Every structure is written in structure tokens, then in C-alpha cells.
Amino acid sequence: MNEALVINYNESALSTLFLGSGKVDTNKLTEFLNGYMSQGYSIKAVQRESRRMLLFFSREAFIIFLERTKPS
């Protein structure tokens, strides 16, 4: 039996405020995902979206769908 997990990953609001747009740091995202991979999850799908913040700013966010065999 498989177990699914949906996670939302977005960059901090401070980088959006100070830099004007929040781009995802790939090193942080890699480290974040490796934590789940070490628990046996595999990536099934990734959806990228741009979210509005405080009317004028936008930041990138990722919705990541993970799956693993349910531990006994």
C-alpha cells in the first residue's frame, strides 16, 4: 500500500520584500527534498505557481506531490 504526501514549498517573505520578487533557492529546495527522499518518498509531480504578496510583489511557490510505500 502506498502513502501520499502533498507539500507546499515557497521562499521567505523577507526576500520578496527586500528584493522585489522571491525566487526559490535551488540549494535550499534540494536540501528540503533530500530530507523526504531519505524517508523513502519519491517525487510524483511538481506544480510551480507565482503567488501575489502585498499587492505589488509576487513570489514563486511549488506544490510537490510525493509517494512512498507505507511502512509496516
User: What CATH number should be reported for the domain holding residue 12?
Assistant: 3.30.110
CA distance 70 to 52: 36
Question: How sure is the predictor about 10, in pLDDT bands with cuts at 50, 70 and 90?
Answer: confident
Identify the CA nearest to 51 among candidates 31, 26, 24: 24
Structurally, how many domains does the chain consist of?
Answer: 1
Express as a percent the part of the chain with pLDDT over 90.
42
| Structural domain boundaries enclosing 20 | 2-69
Q: Which pLDDT value is given to residue 4?
A: 95
Q: pLDDT for 13-46, tens place per residue?
A: 555 455 555 567 788 889 999 999 999 999 999 9
